[in-house]
Structure 1
Amino acid sequence: MHPIERLRSVARAGSVGQLDLVREAASALGGLGDDGGGLVLACKRLVDRQPTSGLLWWLCSKLLQAADPRAEAWRCVDEVEADPTARHLADELADGARVTVLG
């Protein structure tokens, strides 16, 4: 699939997990290669369509300042996948506890 088509799919994604959204966005944005103008426009459109995704904002900011956006995209995915925050939070919750997530 062409990177632009993939970006459209990511932008239209409904209730998708943040990690999945970042993986797909990284793959699509990395596919733009050395097209700096295309990367800026694609990032703008993605955050316009997914304004509540903090991870997507973070990914775009990292890619826009990177010397090699393709390599940075995969480094960011690796960093997010290795983040132990969710595991630490789950360990601290009492059994049967309920969590409300907004956004």
Structure 2
Amino acid sequence: MQNQDKAVDAARTFLQNDAERRAYINRELAILDYNSDHRDAFEEGEAKGRKEGEAQGRKEGEKRLGMLMNLLFKENRYNDANKAAADADFREKLFKEYGI
């Protein structure tokens, strides 16, 4: 029971000291602001990275598809080119066939 009495006395003393109470509140607000800024910066960076990754992936996909179409046209495989344009599974099969 003695420790509880000490804690109550310390809290009473703290609550009566305006300067300490303001300093405590300011510290807590600064911590909340820091955490919020940190979280916002992380989310912004994550979104930017995702956007850049998607753009890079599209560019690579277009390059890959262009290579496949060029090879198919060179070999006069026009029906396969038409089918590859519409059928993702067939396109993947051709990518493997050509090692693209």
TM over 0.5: no
Larger RCO: Structure 1 or Structure 2 (Cα < 8 Å, ≥ 6 residues apart)?
A: 1
TM-score by length of 2: 0.25
Q: Pick the structure with greater CA Rg.
A: 2
Higher helix share: 2
TM-score by length of 1: 0.25
